[in-house]
Structure 1
Amino acid sequence: MFENPATISSNSPHLRKSGSKSVFTDPGLNGHLGGGVSDMGDLKGSSSPLHITTMVPSPIFLWRFKVILFLFWALCCCKIGWDSVMRMSIDLRDLFLYEAFLYYNPLLLVTMMVWLWGVNLWVFSQGSVNYAKVFDLDHNHLTHREMWKCSMWMTIIVPTSMTAYLYLYSHGEVSLAASQPVLLYIAFALVLIFPFDIFYLSSRYFLLRTLWRIAFPLQPITFPDFFLADILTSMVKVFSDLERSVCRMVHKQVATIAWFEADAVCGSHQIAIPLVLVFPYICRLLQCLRQYKDTKEKSSLLNALKYSTAVPVIFLSALKYHVMPESWTSFYRPLWLFSSVINSLYSFYWDVTRDWDLSGFTKIFKFSRPSAISNLLYGRQWVYFWVIGSNLVLRCAWTYKLSAHLRHNYITVFTMTAMEMLRRFQWVFFRVENEWNKITKSHPMGEISLEEDKLLGSTTPHDV
């Protein structure tokens, strides 16, 4: 949509408005037209390219048409979903919504994260931070427009499936309703692992390979490895609900509203919940240990210690279902709160001083290597106050919501998970620019430009 148009000669008649005189004399053209300067009015009856292009709808018209269709679709989904919920009896309505949120909130949150990542890429494309170089991506990597295209389709597909689930269940079609989330999960899994060269195969392969390296950190750790692992730590609630959803699908408990019966199998008491919650932190901890083995940097051990502080928060919370209420209130709950505070403050300190390299509050308003993004986004004092303050508050709130015994308030948990993704979204800007600054310090800009020219030269077709 925004690519550079093909170069057109200044003498081309396509640059002249309809009805205007020609401003040049072409001997070859004059010979065919009778030796005189032609009038554009003589060409009105011909099938010139100008008349063809006027028949094509303008991009603005197409964009507005798509927006109107999207708003109409969203209104229909909201109306059908609301009517379906209102058909349920009051005593079953909360359980009904609880179950619907369980199946669909993981994919809704993933969709939100894809949208935000597209915004990250768009901001990077406006400045001098070469994110492709930072993540070591090839020329086939997805741009922000392609990320937004993917997220748009996800925004359409997931709520449509959720609306169909609500409608079918409220109208007594229980078996058809139960098939909706199952089909949706299968479709997403197939698209992700599809081996053929469609649906951005190279990008899907890059994602799957990075996930494999995160789960099994047997090779030297690269920046994409621990960057994606950090993002996964912000999505542990997504994985927790995903595990419970798949568990209910496997045990054929979808669309049953037998919540308390199903909870004994796929609920708060199973050991899988804290294991799923802690898994991204354990992966990140192992990455830090592997990085220390390769580099012998003590900061890697301190970073590993940060991720280890999340383990007590998760498992102390899970103990609520396995100890007496008096023991929980008098001993385990205070210990859980103490470990939550330690994890929040340590993580906040590491974000500011290490991931963002702001060195406390001494370098907040001055960059050693200012860039276009710095001037665009970070060059205002209120931005720093907002980023640091919101990061501290959301770090504390997110650590609190890591706890398994708080999961039943699904609206609060959904909101806190969305806010954590917004915190990670703003974290990305500073983290990627900090990494880009390290690259430009270690490699002169001339060398980087030469590398880019070679890459472009190897992928750009020769002029004919």
Structure 2
Amino acid sequence: MSGIADPPSAPVSVMLSTPVFFRAPGVMILFLFLWGINLSVFKALRINYHGALNMVPEDLLEPRQIFQAVGVLGSLLAVCITGYLWSGADAVFIPEAYPVIFYAAALLILLSPFDRFFHRQRMAAWGILRRVFAARVPIAFTEVLVADGLTSLAKAFGDMEVTICIISTVVAVAWSGGDPDHVHTHNLEEDAYNALPGCIHSFFIPIIISVPFVVRLRQCLAARQHYLSIGASSSSTSAASAGYSNPGVVAGTPLVQGHDPATPLSASAFVSVSPLASLTAAPSGPAAAAASHRIAFDAIPLFGPWLNSLPHDAAVQTLNATKYLSALPVIWLSAMKRNYPGSEWLPFYRMLWLLAVSINSLYGFVWDIRMDWGLLQSSAANGPLLRPHTLYPAGAYYAALALNLALRVTWSLKLSSHLHLTGEWYIFMFEMLEVFRRFIWIFFRVEWECVRRGDGIATVRKPSLKADLDDAQK
């Protein structure tokens, strides 16, 4: 949308408002689909994602089941979009009824108490969400992964608020005449367009977008307080690590898929971690990996001595909390634009906003590759910028580094509500790119968690498929 001064023709308005109504569910369905691909790859490579997530297989949807759910929700969304676009004066429902139909049907499916549509897995997912918002220690890796995923959907949650705002405004205006026939004779497209500027400038949008970051920030602060209270160090094996020290193994969860947890694992048990790789024994174990992942706080200006005075894991969680805190200025400086004409916002607030975007993007990128993926380790022998223990080919890590850097910038930009004014399809593209970035991020985040847990840390993956095949022939 290039401007907001003059209403466009009805067909153009329908095309422009369609992403506003259906963008959030579309992005969420895409997220679910890509998560299914994540699990498919983990399963194909025999990476023990169940162990990393501390979940029994029965509580987690299999890739096939995820794709079935995507098919059901995607078909429902396609039907509602078609009904929205083709509805007219003689239609059974007004156009704005179709987003309501989709959300109502989706909630009915997801909240149904009946033993249908993967009831056990849905209940397990709701339980994880409750723990995510409670932020009670020990914080499991699964709760960290889900909370990080919610930050990637933050803008979609803001879109849902815009949808509710527009639809409620349209319905109120359409029924204002007191005659039900007035609904079908009113220019609903123009009403939706007129409601759009006020709705995208709603004060609730930055609040809603901020919620996932505040939730993740709260997790970090809870973990930090936990480490301060117990005087934990990076060598701790507590599951309260929130993903940044060796969390140990939850009782009853096998390190290798198909292994009986009552039977001790030998080094040979790790040989089949990946069917693509020929694996050889390495001289180091989880303790060495944790030690190599310690942060040298002396390199941090101003705050290095203070961080060194804290337990290592508490200092790490302090830095992690700062990362999520850095997203809030991006959100709120952008939201301030609605209170200022462009000429007043540009000189000062735009400069602050660009500074906030730069800090958040760079901070997030460095944290992703160093802490979330465990890369940039000087002892890496299988490639510069990598780490000693990897489960993927070296080229995959370098490609992910480049993609993450580029997509981190779009991630920070998309948090800005004032960019709605540049075009709804433009924002839709930003949101899809962020979901794709998170899709790539999950591959390496879960892999690094498996390595630190010991799921394959006794082995080193050879870097080429050719070497794997040669060894297999021998």
318-327 or 304-313, which moves further after superposition? 318-327
**Where does residue 279 of structure 1 map in the other structure?**
211
1:75-129, CA deviations, whole angstroms, 9 ceiling, x for partnerless residues? xxxxxxxxxxxxxx97223321122211111111111111111110011111232
Which position in structure 1 is the counterpart of 2:74? 155
- Within the candidate set 104, 107, 115, 2:22 is matched to 104
Q: CA RMSD in A?
A: 2.4
Among 241, 244, 247, the alignment partner of 2:162 is 244
Residue aligning to 1:64: none
Change (3 A) 1:259 1:360: farther
The answer as to 2:446 corresponding to 1:432 is yes
Match of 1:259 among 170, 189, 192: 192
Q: How does 1:46-445 map to 2 (within 5 A)?
A: 91-140=9-58, 141-169=60-88, 172-173=90-91, 175-253=93-171, 255-263=188-196, 267-296=199-228, 297=313, 298-359=315-376, 363=380, 365=383, 367-370=387-390, 374=391, 378-381=392-395, 383-408=396-421, 409-440=423-454
Answer yes or no: is the 8 Å Cα contact 2:378–2:387 preserved in 1.
Answer: no
Aligned residue for 2:96, secondary structure, equals helix
Normalized against structure 1, the TM-score is what?
A: 0.70
Task: Give yes or no for contact 1:96–1:257 (8 Å, CA) kept in 2.
Answer: no
Q: Is 2:411–2:434's contact at 8 Å kept on the other side of the alignment?
A: yes
**Structure 2 contact 206–332 (Cα < 8 Å) conserved:** yes
For the residues of structure 2 that align with 1:252 and 1:279, how far apart are their CA atoms?
Answer: 27
State the alpha-carbon separation in 1 of the partners of residues 410 and 362 from structure 2.
11
The CA deviation at 1:216 is 2.7
Instruction: Check whether the contact 1:213–1:225 (CA below 8 A) recurs between aligned residues.
Output: yes
In structure 2, the CA distance between the partners of 1:168 and 1:324, relative to structure 1 (3 Å rule), is closer
Distance 1:90 1:286 in 2: 44
Unaligned runs of 5+ in 1: 1-88, 446-464
2:418 and 2:354 map into 1 onto residues whose CA distance is 13
Which moves more between the two structures, 278-287 or 171-180?
A: 171-180
Specify whether residues 313 and 379 from structure 1 end up closer, same or farther in structure 2 by C-alpha distance, changes over 3 A only: same
**Residues in 2 aligned to 1:190 and 1:219: alpha-carbon distance in whole angstroms:** 32
- Retained in 1: the 8 A contact 2:29–2:70? yes
Q: How many residues align?
A: 348
CA deviation map 1:138-180 (0-9, x unaligned): 23121111111111222222112101111113x6427443322
- After superposition, the C-alpha distances for 1:21-57 in whole angstroms (9 at most, x for unaligned) are xxxxxxxxxxxxxxxxxxxxxxxxxxxxxxxxxxxxx
State how far apart, in whole Å, the 2-side matches of 1:311 and 1:224 are. Answer: 24
Tell me the CA shift for residue 422 of structure 1: 0.9
8 Å Cα contact 1:99/1:257 also seen in 2: no
Q: Is the 8 A contact 1:347 1:395 kept in 2?
A: yes
Q: Write 1 or 2 for the structure with the bigger share of helix.
A: 1
**Equivalences for 1:441-456 in 2 at 5 Å?**
none
| Distance (whole Å) between structure 2 residues aligned to residue 139 and residue 410 of structure 1 | 40
Distance of 1:145 and 1:175 partners within structure 2: 35
CA contact (8 A) 1:314 1:404 kept: yes
Q: Specify the structure having the higher radius of gyration (Cα).
A: 1
Distance 1:283 1:97 in 2: 35
Name the aligned partner's letter for residue 207 of structure 2: L
Aligned equivalent of 2:285: none
- Secondary structure of the equivalent of 1:137? coil
8 Å contact from structure 1 (residues 236, 277) kept in 2: yes
Give the secondary-structure state (helix, strand or coil) at the position aligned to 2:116: coil
Query: Residue 213 of structure 1 contacts residue 219 of structure 1 at CA under 8 Å; is this kept in 2?
Result: no
Q: Determine the C-alpha separation between the residues in 2 that align with 1:190 and 1:249.
A: 20
Does the 8 A contact of 2:374 with 2:448 survive in 1? yes
Structure 2: how far apart are the matches of 1:91 and 1:361?
Answer: 60
Distance (Å, rounded) in 2 between the aligned partners of 1:327 and 1:109: 34
Q: Secondary structure at the match of 2:354?
A: helix
Cα shift at 1:222: 1.1
**Deviation per residue, 1:355-414 (Å, 9 max, x gap):** 0000268747365344xxx3xxx3142x33321111111101221121111013111111
Check whether the contact 1:352–1:360 (CA below 8 A) recurs between aligned residues.
Answer: no
Please tell me the residue identity of whatever aligns with 1:389. A
Tell me the CA shift for residue 203 of structure 1: 1.2
Deviation, 1:220, is 2.7
Structure 1: 4+ residue segments shifted above 4 A = 441-445
Deviates more, 1:110-119 or 1:253-262: 253-262
**Alpha carbons of structure 1 residues 221 and 256: separation in structure 2 relative to 1, 3 Å:** same
Give the Cα–Cα distance (whole angstroms) in 2 for the partners of residues 321 and 327 of structure 1. Answer: 11
Calculate the TM-score normalised by the size of structure 2: 0.69
Whether contact under 8 Å (2:151, 2:212) holds in the other structure is yes
Tell me: CA distance 1:264–1:120, structure 2 relative to 1, closer, same or farther (3 Å): closer
Residue 13 of structure 2 aligns to a residue in which SS? helix
How far apart are the structure 1 equivalents of 2:17 and 2:377?
A: 44
Provide the rounded CA distance (Å) in 2 between the counterparts of 1:107 and 1:209.
22
